[in-house]
């Protein structure tokens, strides 16, 4: 009887191991998808954190920054024109400039 219980416990452990393997594989895929999204959208994510506005206004400002970056990159050497890194750096820099301007405007106004 003890041998049967040990066998039953072993089967339960194997089933649990398989369940956990499937669960972990699923979670790994979710994490990989989230990382891919972050890699793709990191300039916008960073800009949203820096910009001092409400989320809807941040979205509008981000779309304006995208348009401005398209114009700016037209004046840059063709070597860098299609560089996603350059576009990302520009967007983050612009968000910092907007943040700085907004912060300085807030300090310049009387209480």
pLDDT of residue 106: 65
Mean pLDDT within 25-54? 84
Mind listing the pLDDT tens digit for each residue in 43-61? 777 777 777 778 788 778 8
pLDDT above 70: residue 111: no
Q: Do 104 and 53 touch, CB atoms closer than 8 A?
A: no
Choice between 48 and 81, residue whose per-residue pLDDT is larger: 48
Q: Do 101 and 111 touch, CB atoms closer than 8 A?
A: no
Distances (CA, A) of 89 to 46, 65, 66, 96: 10, 12, 12, 11
What value does the mean pLDDT of the chain take? Answer: 78
């Amino acid at each position: 009887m003890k041998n049967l219980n040990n066998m039953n416990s072993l089967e339960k452990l194997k089933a649990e191991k398989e369940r956990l393997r499937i669960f972990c594989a699923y979670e790994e895929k979710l994490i990989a998808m989230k990382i891919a999204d972050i890699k793709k959208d990191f300039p916008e994510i960073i800009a949203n954190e820096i910009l001092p506005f409400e989320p809807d206004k941040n979205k509008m400002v981000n779309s304006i920054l995208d348009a401005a970056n398209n114009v700016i990159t037209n004046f840059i050497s063709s070597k860098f024109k299609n560089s996603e890194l350059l576009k990302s750096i520009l967007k983050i820099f612009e968000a910092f400039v907007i943040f700085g301007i907004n912060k300085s405007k807030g300090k310049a106004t009387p209480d």
